[in-house]
Amino acid sequence: MKKLRIEISNWFDKLDRKWRAMPVKEQQRKTLLLFAGYALLSFIVLLEVCYDVAHSDNTMTIEHIENPIRQNNSSVSTQDSITILKDKNHESCMSCP
């Protein structure tokens, strides 16, 4: 894990050196392109959400929840099948602290 962290740190340092070595105009251009891509993606998602809301059928059916045990007429008992086994050493007593 420590080796991975060192590798990632070295990779970020290399990227930072490349970014700082780049001319300021090129940095500004790349930052502007990144922002424009982000804005375009945000606009597309906003349009898709508006389209989905405008074209929704706004219907919801509300029904009662059916009990699956009553529907199934098998011989399965409706009680819990878990049995709790207690050890006599672990039972609660009045004189225990």
46-87 tens-digit pLDDT: 999 999 888 877 777 888 888 877 765 555 555 555 666 655
Q: Could you tell me which residues come within 8 angstroms of residue 22 by beta carbon, excluding any fewer than 6 positions away?
A: 30
- Look-up of token digits 């049995």: 83
SS3 42: helix
pLDDT value of position 83:
61
Domain ranges of the chain: 2-59
- Measured between alpha carbons, how far is 10 from 29 in angstroms, rounded to an integer? 26
Whether the predicted model's global pTM rises above the 0.85 cut: no
- Measured between alpha carbons, how far is 33 from 27 in angstroms, rounded to an integer? 10
